[in-house]
C-alpha cells in the first residue's frame, strides 16, 4: 500500500500545473509590446499570457492570483498606488530610477528587475579583458553615489582595488584625469547625468589619450566607443521572465539583476588599445560558467 501511495504522489508531481494568468501591462499598446507578449506566450504554453493597457488595468483589475509584468514607468506608478494588486515583476528598471522612486526597498509584492549590468559581472569582464589589471577607477555623481559601496565590495571580492571620485558637474576633467593616472581602467556606471550623448565623447577621448579603457556602462556606449559591456537583449529578458515565472511569487526577491546576458565588445577599440580579446560568445560563456560555480 505504501508503495502505491508513493507511486501516486510521484505521478501527481509529473502532471502539468494548473494554467496561471500572466498579464503584461504598459501605458501604450504597440506592435513591439504585442510581439513581446506573443513571444512570452509561446515560451509558456501552460499559462494564459495576455496584454492589458494601463487604461484596461484601471477598469478591469487583474485577479489576485495572477502575475503582473510591468513594462513602463507610468504603469509602475499606477501599481504602486494599489494595495490589492497581484504579485508584480517590473522589467528594466535602472538602479538610480529605482532608488529615486522607491528608496531602499520596493513595497511587498513588487520585484524590480534591474536594467543595470551587475557590478561583479562587469568587473569579471574587466578581468577577462585586462587580466593584469589591479585597480579600477569609478566616476560617480550625486544620483549614483549610493552605488559606490556595492561596486567596492564586488571589486574586493575579485582582488581589485576600486578608486572612486565624484564627477564635477561643471565639466572639469580633473577627477577623471586623477583616476586615469592611478588606475588600470575606467568602469562606467549607468548614471545618465554622467554618461550621456553630451559627455561620452570627452570621457572616451580623455581615457584613450591616457591609454586607458572605458568599460561599460551599457551596450549602447560600446557602440559609441567604449571597450565592452555585458547586457541583456530581448531573448535574455524572455528567458529571465520564464525563470521567475517558474517560481512561486512568494519566493520572488525585492529586486534582482538579470541572470541571462551576453557580452558585446568593440573590436576596433580593442585593437587600438593593443588588446586581442576572445569572441563575444566566448567571453559570455566564460562569465556564465563562472557565475554557475
**Tens digits of residue pLDDT in 61-83:** 899 999 999 999 999 999 999 98
Cell numbers at residue 206, please?
A: 580623455
Q: How many CB atoms lie within 10 A of CB 224?
A: 15
Stretches in the chain below the pLDDT threshold 50 = 1-18
pLDDT at 13: 42
Residues 6+ positions from 55 with CB-CB distance below 8 Å: none
pLDDT at 104: 65
Cell 537583449, residue located: 233
pLDDT digits (tens, 9 = 90+) for 170-199: 767 899 999 999 999 999 999 999 999 999
Cell numbers at residue 30, please?
A: 504597440
Determine the Cα–Cα distance for residues 22 and 276; give it in Å rounded to an integer.
45
Q: How many CB atoms lie within 10 A of CB 101?
A: 15
Give the three-class secondary structure for 250: helix
pLDDT at 8: 38
- DSSP class of residue 106 equals P
pLDDT at 120: 98
Determine the Cα–Cα distance for residues 191 and 216; give it in Å rounded to an integer.
11
End-to-end CA distance of the chain: 42
Nearest to 112 by CA among 292, 224, 254, 223: 254
Task: Calculate the CA 179 to chain-centre distance.
Answer: 26
H or E stretch including 214?
strand 213-215
> pTM value?
0.90
By the 8 A CB rule, do 181 and 98 touch? Answer: no
Domains of the chain are: 17-115 (3.40.50.10490), 119-231+261-292 (3.40.50.2300)
Amino acid at each position: 500500500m505504501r508503495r502505491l501511495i508513493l507511486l501516486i504522489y510521484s505521478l501527481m508531481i509529473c502532471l502539468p500545473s494548473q494554467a496561471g494568468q500572466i498579464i503584461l501591462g504598459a501605458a501604450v499598446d504597440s506592435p513591439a509590446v504585442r510581439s513581446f507578449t506573443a513571444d512570452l506566450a509561446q515560451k509558456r504554453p501552460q499559462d494564459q499570457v495576455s496584454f492589458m493597457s494601463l487604461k484596461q488595468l484601471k477598469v478591469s483589475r487583474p485577479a489576485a492570483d495572477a502575475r503582473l509584468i510591468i513594462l513602463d514607468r507610468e504603469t509602475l506608478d499606477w501599481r504602486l498606488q494599489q494595495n490589492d494588486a497581484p504579485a508584480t515583476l517590473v522589467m528594466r528598471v535602472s538602479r538610480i530610477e529605482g532608488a529615486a522612486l522607491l528608496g531602499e526597498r520596493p513595497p511587498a509584492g513588487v520585484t524590480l528587475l534591474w536594467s543595470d549590468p551587475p557590478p561583479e559581472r562587469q568587473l569579471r569582464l574587466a578581468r577577462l579583458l585586462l587580466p593584469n589589471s589591479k585597480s579600477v577607477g569609478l566616476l560617480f555623481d550625486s544620483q549614483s553615489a549610493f552605488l559606490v559601496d556595492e561596486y567596492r565590495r564586488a571589486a574586493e571580492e575579485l582582488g581589485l582595488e576600486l578608486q572612486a571620485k565624484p564627477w564635477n558637474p561643471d565639466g572639469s576633467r580633473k577627477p577623471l584625469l586623477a583616476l586615469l593616472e592611478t588606475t588600470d581602467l575606467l568602469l562606467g556606471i549607468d548614471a545618465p547625468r554622467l554618461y550621456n550623448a553630451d559627455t561620452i565623447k570627452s570621457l572616451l577621448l580623455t581615457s584613450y589619450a591616457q591609454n586607458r579603457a572605458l568599460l561599460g556602462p551599457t551596450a549602447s556606449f560600446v557602440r559609441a566607443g567604449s571597450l565592452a559591456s555585458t547586457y541583456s537583449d530581448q531573448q535574455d529578458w524572455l528567458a529571465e521572465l520564464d525563470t521567475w515565472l517558474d517560481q512561486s511569487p512568494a519566493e520572488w526577491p525585492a529586486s534582482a539583476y538579470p541572470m541571462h546576458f551576453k557580452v558585446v565588445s568593440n573590436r576596433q577599440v580593442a585593437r587600438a588599445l593593443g588588446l586581442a580579446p576572445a569572441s563575444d560568445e566566448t567571453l559570455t560563456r566564460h562569465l556564465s560558467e563562472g557565475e554557475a560555480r
